[in-house]
Structure 1
Amino acid sequence: MEVTYMGLLEYFQGCIPRAKDRGYILIVSLVARYSDAEKAYRKLEHDWAALNDLTGNNILFLFSTPKVKKRASFLHIPGQPAYVGGMCPFVELLDGKGVEDNRGEFEYVYYDYKKIDWKKKYAQTIGEFAAEYGIPEKDIPCLFIYDLIRDRYMIIPVRHDADIYAMIKNIVVRISEYRKKKMAIDAELERYSDIDRYYTLYRKLDDEAHKDDSAQSIAICKILQNMDLFKSLKNDIADPTVKRNLKRIGQWRRQYFDRFYNDSSDRKKYLELKEAEKNAEKMLNQIWDSMTAEIKVIETCQKKDCEDSIIYDLLAVCVKLQANPMYYLAKENNRNDYIRDMLERSNYEVLDQTRRGLALAGKEAGEVDLLIKIEGMPGTIIEALNLDSLKKEYLSRHIDKIFLYDTAGNTFNIVLVYANVVDLDGFCYRYLQYIKERDYIYQLIKVEDKIKVEDLEYSDIRIMKTFHNRNSSVTTLYHIIVKMGNKPRD
């Protein structure tokens, strides 16, 4: 083969008309950065056969990965010899028979293969694709779903622990139902193909008739109403294409349309099928709309799942902290180090003493204790402090500190109190009264007390929540109080 390099974007756009010609409904593509693509590819390989059975001729699955240069996809250039075309070394087509023209070992057919930094090249081709379709960096990796019928697309972000096979199966099941109905309707409409062709041409000529008040438009209108007038009015038709079409539609009317139109039962059947065809299209739109709505739900659930996971894992670490004698009298920073290290072992990205936001005096950036990132973006702030009694001014500074340093507006943040107290009930009662009554940077909406976390209900750990109105959005501040040992050293 004689090949030129094709990036993912060029290849994808080359596949669109081919997939349409082969009767596919959707193209589903997994778009991922280099390291993510490697992991996703490994996770998907064991589901490959099942996925192939699922997609069938409904969905073309296009997988972007740097692992397939040995079987790169080849697209022939029209008008050139069969072996001349473009090859994308980063694409695996699943059940793409008839869409791609061939496969080959890119390493052996591309000149200067060994001189190219393919990792950099892969990053570049993913960047080009993301830029063309407006995919935010935070949403990569993602499933990119292209509707071949309506030429529209949607983006479904894929979390690192997502079951890609299950996500695709959910899409396929819905599309298959639509496909089954559409194929049944198309099969019945096949015998009315001439009628469809007649109506298509009639509508085209009718548009010409109502274009303006010219002699040609008036003549077209009269001829469509009475085909016998064609001979007497044809000289008023200046456009030779329109003239040929008027002659053709007159022939069709005599050959088969009049017979069809006069058969009321046949005409009724046709109209019923066309109505069913419209309903099938509505069904596809409803499927698309429901998928779009579910993406928003998924995003919300992901945020909620992430919130629940962080709170659960943080509480589990706090239980271990309580049980470790090394931290009975520890300083705040030492306890924070333990929390950070244990969360990192649970695969969280935790930044310690990160300089962000505004200092309390409003002059320069200050420090927050811990910042957990979610997929590279700020997720939640943990502001921790040692308290051996309710020191309102000291607590107030830490609470305000969170809101000042949270420049993006996280969904939730956390105040973590290491309470070196004897009477935890009394301390929590006074703490609750204080957070109910104090003034906040963002308006207090409500307070919840005695929050329970399943499987982690301990008498020496208490959870409260305050909800705040931040620029018309609700943000949550968790107050987690962990009873520790004796009074800490200064």
Structure 2
Amino acid sequence: MQVTYIGLSEYFQRCILKAKRKGYFLIISLIARYSDAQDLYEKLEKDWASLNDLTGDKILFVFSTPKARKRASFFHIPEKEPYEGVMCPFIELLNGRGVEDNNGSFEFQYGGYNKIDWKQRHSQTITEFAMNYNILEKEIPCLFLYDLIGNRYKVIPVGQSTDIYVMIKAMVEEIAEYRKKCVNIEGQLEKYRKIEEYYCLYEKLENEAEKENSKQCVAIRKVLREVQSYKEVKDDIFDSRIKKDLKRIGQWKRQYFSSFEKDDANKKHYLELKKKERNIENEFNSIWDNLENVIKERGRERRENSKVTILHDLLSACVKLQSNSTYFAISENQRNDFVRDLLKMAKYDVIDQTRRGISSTEKCAGEVDILIEEDGSPVTIIEALNLDSLNTHYLDRHIDKIYRYDTVGNMFNIILSYVSVSNFSKFCEKYFKYIKEHQYLYPLLSADDSFRVENFPYSDIRVMKTVHNRNGCDTVLYHVCVLIRQ
């Protein structure tokens, strides 16, 4: 994992071969204009340690930053004087009598340092990178994935609220089994490394021989097919590298390949391993082609599993609300602000009082108390109300409103009641009886008056659950009743 203060295009040109040699198989980079995606960059910096651990030594994660570095890299401009160069990604010339004169900090060397528009310079390097890799402007911000094994790349657009860490974790999890198989097969093929090198060199020479019908190409074909020896045709070969390769392949054949070719069992084992290797490569190709869909599916799975985590964190916020005397006699909105802030601290994308759906008058958009999103898509709506008794008319309005607000059909939504009564148990009995009889917008399938959330055995918080048929799909409405002392 690495931060680069040079332009990404420049960095990719320099790092791909080195990354391959060091055993990396994937490079991931965030391509985003700073002004459009400041939150993404800040989140990325906060998740730095986690991303570093997650990507390990097989995935190289790179992102370019618009912040100045005191000792930035100097690159010479081709066909210019030795002292003319660029300070990537900012495209600024540094003047001097020679490169050695540019020692010291960038601030010292560049007279206009304080006047630089860093965001603009950062945007320039993103534009350059997008042009080099045919990335459309509408696809930015995006994750750029470079497959070091297949020498190909993929662009996955991301939204302002996208959790980069979660996306990369989904990739790592999807690729983990493939990597395990790769490591296993590579270990088994290690004993055949010299044979592999022989085949690679033979293929290289064979490709060279098929280029044309020159004397050199004819000579290569004769040596490979053992029509003549290298010594007999060496005068027809003018390329010193090819001469060296032909000598080497002759030595390898005598040292390793001849005995291998005669050992049928060993040869069969090698061919079986190579077949497994090809199957693993095909598996990775399938993963690669389907990676964006896999990430989206993981997102759907997370939303499916988020019922438990959101409920857990909402109840945690309610416990804190119950113990804070400031919120004992206060408005619904002020309590919502407290809950919303705690959910934000729990890293949810929480939108408060959003204009969404239609109001009870069906003339304009209604207000959502709390909306939780993930990757820009709604996950759940929390509609809150203060109750000092079972005010059925008021409760009806809020239950009906939550479905007007939910314009897409969330897997679950939540009615949160701040209850101030003397007999909470009796209130909950009446509440449950009423919600079983309520005429919902979507048919009631089942009701549970004591839904248990792990680690929340509290008597002053009750969770009830109703399941509804919404256009052939089961959707859940959680009813959370929280006792607030007077």
TM-score range, shorter chain: 0.5 to 0.7
Q: How does 1:71-82 map to 2 (within 5 A)?
A: 71-72=71-72
Show the counterpart of 1:28: 27
Partners of 1:123 and 1:470 in 2: how far apart?
A: 46
Contact 2:354/2:368 (<8 A) preserved? yes
Deviations 1:418-454 (A, max 9, x none): 3344554454344434444544444555444422223
Q: CA separation in 2, counterparts of 1:51 and 1:415?
A: 37
2:332 alignment counterpart: 332
Whole-Å Cα distance in 2 between the matches of residues 262 and 296 of structure 1? 51
Is 1:454–2:461 an aligned residue pair? no
Give the aligned partner of residue 194 of structure 2.
187
Number of the residue aligned with 1:11:
10
Q: For 2:426 and 2:120, how far apart are their aligned partners in 1?
A: 60
Matching residue within 265, 268, 279 for 1:282: 279
C-alpha distance 262-304 of structure 1, shift in aligned 2 (>3 A): closer
* Corresponding residue number in structure 2 for 1:119: 119
Q: In the alignment, is the contact (CA less than 8 A) between 2:354 and 2:367 conserved in 1?
A: yes
Alignment of 1:48-67 (within 5 A): 55=57, 60-67=60-67
1:273 deviates by 3.3
Residue identity matched to 1:249: R
Unaligned runs of 5+ residues in structure 2 are 91-102, 230-249
**Normalized against structure 2, the TM-score is what?**
0.64
Cα deviation code 1:302-342 (max 9, x no counterpart)? 54675544322322332344445565554534543443455
CA contact (8 A) 1:37 1:64 kept: no
Whole-Å separation in 1 of the counterparts to 2:122 and 2:473: 39
Distance 1:159 1:306, change over 3 A: farther
For residue 479 of structure 2, give the secondary structure of its aligned residue in structure 1.
strand
Question: SS where residue 69 of structure 1 aligns?
Answer: coil
Cα distance in structure 1, aligned partners of 2:333 and 2:476 = 25
CA distances 1:245-298 after superposition (whole Å, capped 9, x unpaired): 677535521248999899962687556535423422433554676795975675
Question: CA contact under 8 A between 1:352 and 1:369: conserved in structure 2?
Answer: yes
**Structure 1 counterpart of 2:428:** 428
In 2, Cα distance between equivalents of 1:248 and 1:436: 86
Mean Cα deviation higher: 71-80 or 430-439: 71-80
Identical pairs, percent: 39
**Aligned-partner residue type, residue 66 of structure 2:** P
The answer (yes or no) to whether the contact 2:328–2:484 under 8 Å persists in 1 is yes
Whether contact under 8 Å (2:47, 2:165) holds in the other structure is no
> CA offsets per residue over residues 137-174 of structure 1, 9 Å max, x none?
9987x6x5421122244769884887999998996974
Higher deviation after alignment, 416-425 or 37-46: 37-46
Q: Secondary structure at the match of 1:452?
A: coil
Number of the residue aligned with 2:203: 196
Give, as a single letter, the amino acid of the residue that structure 2 aligns with 1:188. I
For residues 83-118 of structure 1, the C-alpha deviation after alignment (integer angstroms, 9 at most, x for no partner) is 87765349xxxxxxxxxxxx9966677796554311
Q: Residue 252 of structure 1 is aligned with which of 213, 217, 224? A: 224
Secondary structure of the equivalent of 1:353? strand
Q: CA deviation at 1:345?
A: 6.1
Give the direction of change, closer, same or farther, for the CA distance of 1:182–1:11 in structure 2 (3 Å limit): farther
What are structure 1's unaligned runs of at least 5 residues?
Answer: 91-102, 206-239
The aligned runs of 1:357-396 (5 Å cut-off) are 357-372=357-372, 378-396=378-396
Task: Quote the Cα distance in structure 2 between the aligned partners of 1:128 and 1:471.
Answer: 48
CA–CA distance in 2 between the matches of 1:354 and 1:51?
Answer: 35
RMSD: 5.4
TM-score, normalised relative to structure 1: 0.64
- Measured against aligned partners, the alpha-carbon deviations of 1:180-218 in whole angstroms (never above 9, x if no partner) come to 55655443322344543477689x79xxxxxxxxxxxxx
Cα distance change on mapping 1:78 and 1:16 into 2, 3 Å: farther
The one-letter code matched in structure 1 to 2:383 is E
Secondary structure at the residue paired with 2:396? Answer: helix
The answer (yes or no) to whether the contact 2:303–2:379 under 8 Å persists in 1 is no
Q: Secondary structure at the match of 1:339?
A: helix
> Which residue does the alignment assign to 1:405?
405
Secondary structure of the equivalent of 2:404? helix
